[in-house]
A = this chain, B = another copy of it.
Amino acid sequence: MRRRGVLGQAGLAGILASCSAPAVLAQPVIRWRLASACHPSLDAVYGGTEQFARQLGLLSGGRLQVTLLPTEEPVASLPLLEALQAGEIDALHAVPSHFVAIDECFALDSAVPFGLNSRQMSTWQLEGNGLKLLRDFYAQHQIVNFPMGNSGAQMGGWFRRELDSPADLADLRMQMGGLGARVLQSLGAVPQQLPMGELVGALERGQLDAVEWVGPHDDRKLGLGRVARYYYYPGWWEGSAQLSLYCNAKAWRALPPDLKAMVEMAAQSVHAAIQARYDVLNPVALKQLVASGVRVKTFSKPVLDAAFKASNALCADLSRRNPAWRRIYADYSAFRREQNLWHRLAEASFDRYLQSARL
């Protein structure tokens, strides 16, 4: 973070002292360097990163100038996180589940298999205990976090062959990261993590049997629909996948209260915008995919049941081994229970009626 003083505060304060006015002090211009963990081709997300920078410039009248650093391909998240922690960048638009190898708790800020849906995740953070618990966790990583985007429930990915029973998961080489990869492994599959640019080729050659990416819009752009026929849903490992704004804790603390409020508001605004953008883009892409011959299928109940059981086992194991996980997940899972009890009444029955009606 670099600051450039624009006016000696004492001098201006002296000038203003003669006025019966609210204090108008010349504020230093603060410059933030922002990076994105997503490639610009993920335009719903990357457009949100750009929007965040623009909005802060507008809100602050130029007092907080956020520069979005050019993104290299392939994007490697870990060096970006280290750069943030070292203060080489001030903010990172992150996919927290990229960091589960450091600590599984990162997944609780993004996607837990069979976890909270998009609305529930926002609610947990805004009005439940989520943000507070995650802030406690992130403090040790020199991060101050804000939810900034969600994809909604992702699709279950692209398969070269149909997947009928849990036995079909045996030795399945499937592209997947986050905690979903661990669940998949416990079911006998072999999770892979290839760079984005290699996915289509690997799936086409049969080096991969399946690829999960995001949803119809991003998947279609990447070309996955051209090389695999079966498109499954739901992505039970990402019933919602949240992105977060990570601020370097020191850079954050250096902001005056009004700029802190602006960062928070801009992040909230982008949080809503990214979800909305995906919801507008995905139906269009899905229709195009179906028109091109893709077969859209749901995972069978036995597959979902096996995955649910394995996910619960993983979460229970993490609660035994990782004290921070135990503390946060206890709240997360209680919240999930409450929300699903409530949403199955008015929300679900209303949605179900409309989804089966001739509109």
Chain A interfacial positions (CB closer than 8 Å to B): 6-7, 12, 15-16, 19, 21-22, 24, 26-27, 29, 55, 58-63, 114, 117-120, 122-123, 126-128, 152-156, 215, 233-236, 239, 257-258, 261-262, 264-266, 268-269, 271-273, 275-277, 279-280, 282-284, 286, 296, 298, 304, 308, 333, 336-357, 359
Contacts and interface: CB of A to CB of B under 8 A. Distances in A.
B123 A280 contact: yes
Given A155-B346, A233-B349, A298-B345, 8 more contacts: A12-B24, A55-B261, A114-B354, A152-B346, A236-B350, A236-B353, A265-B266, A265-B268
* Of listed A6, A58, A268, A342, residue having the most chain B CB within 10 A: A342
Contact of A154 (B27, B257, B346, B355): B346
A154 B154 CA distance: 27
Contacts of A155: 345-346
Nearest to A153: B346
Nearest to A18: B7
A354 B342 contact: no
A150 to B, nearest CB: 10
Contacts of A353: 114, 234, 236, 304, 308
A276 B127 contact: yes
Given A234-B345, A266-B265, A275-B119, A283 B338 contact: yes
A350 B123 contact: no
A7 B264 CA distance: 30
